[in-house]
Chain A
């Protein structure tokens, strides 16, 4: 269900990559992949022709990510993957106001570029169409300044804006609003107060990995807040196959196997502003190469050296990639075979009105019963809770408890271990400075008991079934 390759995929890419289509036993994936790379290289000789347009490729004997394509076909190839992800998952509809999260890195830079190209094309066809019935979606860009956590924090937000604006402003018309915020804004809109609070919050988390992850969750909440405050209804992230592959391994290593499939789909509608990942099928190498070829400017990303699980995993993944370029795809595909959650697709009726008829059927197929099942989310990381975790929520609700205790009970086991302070005093302090959007998630949605029981019951049923099947 999660894979959208198959028939549709065949039309945009027909050569070497075909070997990857098989989903089943991938033990030989490595051999297959190396053969395909070899054959591309071997086909070269002196005169390399682009397999797509037949023109002589500019990058003769160039990097393997190009797969022998010339730069313009390579651009079209990646744009094709992007477009396919957008259309098959109905990520963007004509009335949408889309916010692109731009980090300065190559992936979100390409996302921004492609969204812009798509917007231009829609505008052209809008101009051309007689009825002009379908509006064209609008686009905004958000940049979050995280220099506070870098080694040498620059205190000048204006300098950051100066760096971002020349990247965003050429992408018009159509005009794109640029929103710049600092990460400490999630704690307080007051700059100094926010800084103090954020530092305090991060300092109370001793685990290096937990600290990094908390920062990521805070970033997501800030993106949500900015999107909501400015009337956006979609949030586009630059997460690509490579980042998703890292996430698959790190979520596994953190014991988040249950919630993992929620994070690796194309659509994640568990947030107030749904999140979409149109670069889901592109790998970092490709995106970097495209930025290089097309002269897209990127920013030097602040990467602090750390000995967290996350950085161990990203070096592990890059080691695997060197050994087999298609490994990242295989990893993500494994995770896609896990059962996604109801919120991993759009089911809202209003989309149907704007969709071409050939796409409408995709939505009618989604059963409402499945998506109707409400999930309970960890207030920190947003993971749907598994059955034993729900049990602890249920237990705590039987008695009356303090706000901190209720909050703690709602946190998933992974966050409880790596983020929540163990000492009651520091836990209390941690809770008191946690941004409202996080604490509100628990108090705002205290479940009524019968519903929780029902949820647990559902999980148990699924478990029983699985055990029988073995």
Chain B
């Protein structure tokens, strides 16, 4: 199936040659430049661009221990592959490992974790799996059983974000790399405009975030198109997993994503232009992020007294799963919220301690 047809027969409109090497047959049109290039040249420009993003932005220092956030999906699979290639080729001197989060979703994570395990062997990168059950005492299956299918994505998202940090801390990583691609970032810029979230708007185009925190995160695919990532995985026959999460079957159907894809069809460059806009927004210094403190319960960075995960957990453990969903305003807002609920349900404060997420030893 691999090459059979591609080279055997001459094709009508596809006889064009690669605009880089001028020798081999073009296999794809680059969205970034509209060039027609062959597979081999595609591999090298794709990898070289990521290499220059890494070098130009000083993403890593030699000797660093770097966790590759691995979900088994296309982006993280290609990320793991490319990072391990570049690390060897350019002597980054990084100690790479795969870090996976097991949300505890039967039938979804089971399969994707299998994919990550195969990657562990194929790419020669050690794998560490942290589970929600270990970190929070709840699996997603259990959470859904308690709260139903509404808002479950809020839980999963908040928990996953922290899970990576906690897992990375456990493994004594210096940095986390994630597979966010250009389409993702453009979508985030757009969503933050639609929501009026100026603080997030100012941060969402940073290639590295959390530099003030214990474990910074960076996105080497910041300028890589999703199309190219998928093409790369397809041509290289990389093994990735692509089932929807069973709890949010249509989550990817978001209108913002759809809009980005429509835009890409009219003008592929628009994706990079949105990122550029995001980088150039004149955000007044007075609208910077609120001061970051740490969660009083677990020590995770949080702008409020309790971090979002602890707040959600508190709700779960007290049978008030709506707690922390939606809008919270400053630490006082949280407090009020808690007290208000308290008076309604007569749950005493001591119950809160029953299950909490472990303290972080940063």
- In whole Å, how far is A36's beta carbon from the nearest beta carbon of chain B? 15
Contacting A at CB under 8 A, from B278-325, are: 278-285, 287-288
Decide: A255 and B282 in contact? CB cutoff 8 A: no
Chain A interface mostly helix, strand, loop or mixed? helix
- The verdict on B121 contacting chain A, using a C-beta distance below 8 Å, is no
Query: Are the CB atoms of B279 and A257 closer together than 8 Å?
Result: yes
- CB proximity to B under 8 Å, residues A318-335: 319-320, 323, 327, 330-331, 333-335
Chain A contacts for B190, CB-based, 8 A = 249, 252
Are B273 and A255 neighbours in the complex by a CB distance under 8 Å? yes
Q: In the bound complex, how far is the Cα of B196 from the Cα of A132, in angstroms?
A: 46
Stretch from B31-39, B102-110, B223-231, B262-270 forming part of the interface with A: B262-270
Residues from chain B with a CB closer than 8 A to the CB of A316 are 255, 259, 262
Partner of A252, one of B267, B274, B327: B274
Q: How far is the CA of A261 from the CA of B282 in the complex (A)?
A: 8
Please give, as numbers and ranges, the residues of chain A lying within 8 Å of B192 by CB-CB distance: 334
Point out the residues of chain A lying under 8 angstroms from B279, CB to CB.
257
Residue of B190, B266, B285 contacting most chain A CB atoms (<10 Å): B266
Chain B hits for A469, CB < 8 A: 285, 288
Q: Which of A24, A257, A320, A339 contacts B194 (CB 8 A)?
A: A320
Contacts A252-B190, A254-B270, A470-B203 hold; do A334 and B262 have CB atoms under 8 A apart?
no
Q: Contact partner of B277 among A1, A251, A307, CB < 8 A?
A: A251
Cα distance A386–B255 when bound, in Å? 31
Distance between Cα atoms of A330 and B206 in the complex (Å): 23
* Chain A residues with CB under 8 A of B276: 255, 257
A470 adjacent to B206 (CB under 8 Å): yes
Near B by CB (< 8 A), chain A positions 249-266 give 249, 251-258, 260-261
Q: Assess A253 versus B194: contact at CB under 8 Å? Given A24-B329, A260-B281, A470-B211.
A: no
A215 CB → nearest B CB, Å: 18
Interfacial chain A residues near B59, Cβ < 8 Å? none
Q: How many Å lie between the Cα of A116 and that of B226 in the bound state? A: 53
- The distance in angstroms between the C-alpha atoms of A1 and B282, with both chains bound, is 14
Q: Does A309 contact B (CB under 8 A)?
A: yes
CB <8 Å contact, B194 and A209: no
**Cβ distance A243 to chain B, nearest Cβ, rounded Å:** 16
A151 close to chain B: CB less than 8 A: no
With an 8 A cutoff between CB atoms, is A337 at the interface?
yes
A333 CB contact (under 8 Å) in B189, B196, B278, B281 = B196
**Minimal Cβ-Cβ distance residue in B for A418:** B267
In the complex, A28 has a CB within 8 A of chain B: yes
Distance A162 CA – B288 CA, assembled complex (angstroms): 55
Given known A251-B277, A252-B274, A470-B211, contact A23–B196 (CB-CB < 8 A): yes
Does A456 sit within 8 A of B, measured CB to CB? no
Give every chain B residue within 8 A of A254 (Cβ-Cβ). 270, 273, 277
Q: Does B173 contact A (CB under 8 A)?
A: no
Those of A395-421 within 8 Å (CB) of chain B? 414, 417
Q: Is the CB of A257 within 8 A of B284?
A: no
Query: Do residues A331 and B194 form an inter-chain contact, with CB atoms below 8 A?
Result: yes
Partner of B197, one of A27, A209, A417: A27
Interface check B10, CB cutoff 8 A:
no
A77-115: contact bitstring with B at CB < 8 Å (1 yes, 0 no)?
000000000000000000000000000000000000000
Q: Which residues of A contact B86 (CB under 8 A)?
A: none
Using a Cβ–Cβ cut-off of 8 Å, how many residues does chain A contribute to the interface with B?
A: 47
Q: How far is the CA of A308 from the CA of B267 in the complex (A)?
A: 9
Q: B201 contacts the other chain (Cβ, under 8 Å)? A: yes
B82 contacts chain A at the CB level, 8 A cutoff: no
In contact, B277 and A255 (Cβ under 8 angstroms)? yes
Nearest-Cβ distance from residue A233 to partner chain B, whole angstroms = 28
Bound complex: CA of A417 vs CA of B190, how far in Å? 22
| Distance A255 CA – B272 CA, assembled complex (angstroms) | 8
A26 CB within 8 Å of chain B: yes
Instruction: Determine if B326 is an interface residue (Cβ-Cβ < 8 Å).
Output: yes
> Smallest distance from the beta carbon of A331 to chain B beta carbons, Å?
6
Q: Is the CB of B280 within 8 A of A258?
A: yes
A319-B255, A338-B284 known; A26 vs B277 contact (CB < 8 Å): no
A112 to B262, CA, bound (A): 37
Complexed CA–CA distance, A254 and B267 (Å): 10
A339 and B282 within 8 A (CB)? yes
Flag B175-202 by CB within 8 Å of A: 1 or 0 each.
Answer: 0000000000000011011111110010
- In the complex, whether A25 has a CB less than 8 A from a CB of chain B is yes
Determine whether the beta carbon of B284 is less than 8 Å from that of A339: yes
Closest to B195 in A: A26
Assess whether B193 is in contact with A209, with CB atoms less than 8 Å apart.
Answer: no
- CB under 8 Å from chain B, chain A span 413-470: 414, 417, 465-466, 469-470
**Are A27 and B273 interface neighbours, CB within 8 A?**
no
Whole-angstrom CA separation of A82 from B195 in the bound complex: 25
Q: B277 contacts which chain A residues (CB < 8 A)?
A: 251-258, 260
Q: Is A312 an interface residue (CB 8 A)?
A: yes
User: Is there contact, CB below 8 Å, between B327 and A337?
Assistant: no
Q: Is A29 engaged at the interface, CB distance under 8 Å to the other chain?
A: yes
Q: Do residues A25 and B280 form an inter-chain contact, with CB atoms below 8 A?
A: no
A251 contacts across to B, CB distance below 8 A? 277
- Are the C-beta atoms of B193 and A338 separated by less than 8 Å? no
Question: Does A50 make an interface contact (CB < 8 A)?
Answer: no
Once the chains bind, are A253 and B273 in contact (CB under 8 Å)? yes
Is A248 engaged at the interface, CB distance under 8 Å to the other chain? yes
Whole-angstrom distance between the Cβ of A257 and the nearest chain B Cβ: 3
How far in angstroms is the closest Cβ of chain A from B257?
A: 12
Report the bound CA distance from A284 to B193 in whole Å.
Answer: 20
Q: How far is the CA of A24 from the CA of B288 in the complex (A)?
A: 12
- Are A257 and B280 in contact, CB atoms less than 8 angstroms apart? yes
Query: A339 vs B276: C-alpha distance in the bound complex, in angstroms?
Result: 17
Q: Are A386 and B280 in contact (CB under 8 A)?
A: yes
B329 touches A258 (CB 8 A): no
Q: Are B283 and A338 in contact (CB under 8 A)?
A: yes
Q: Which residues of A contact B281 (CB under 8 A)?
A: 257-258, 260, 338
List which B142-159 residues lie within 8 A (CB) of chain A. Answer: none
| Complex Cα gap A346–B203 (Å) | 32
**What's the minimum C-beta distance from A316 to chain B, rounded to whole angstroms?**
5
- The CA-CA distance from A330 to B196 in the complex, in Å, is 6
The answer for the CA separation of A10 and B190 in the assembled complex, in Å, is: 30
When chains A and B are docked, how far (Å) is the Cα of A209 from the Cα of B273?
A: 14
Chain A residue contacts of B194, Cβ below 8 A: 320, 327, 330-331, 334
In the complex, which of the residues A25, A255, A261, A309 contacts B327, with contact meaning CB atoms closer than 8 Å? A25
Output the least CB separation between A162 and chain B (Å): 39
Beyond A31-B326, A316-B259: 9 further Cβ-contacts under 8 Å? A26-B196, A257-B281, A312-B262, A319-B255, A330-B196, A334-B198, A337-B284, A338-B284, A466-B285
Chain B interfacial positions (CB closer than 8 Å to A) = 189-190, 192-198, 201, 203, 206, 211, 255, 259, 262-263, 266-267, 269-270, 272-274, 276-285, 287-288, 326-327, 329
Task: Give me 19 A-to-B residue pairs in the complex whose CB atoms sit less than 8 angstroms apart, sorted by A's number.
Answer: A1-B284, A25-B327, A29-B195, A31-B326, A249-B190, A252-B189, A254-B273, A255-B272, A255-B273, A257-B281, A258-B277, A312-B263, A319-B255, A331-B194, A334-B196, A334-B197, A337-B287, A338-B284, A470-B211
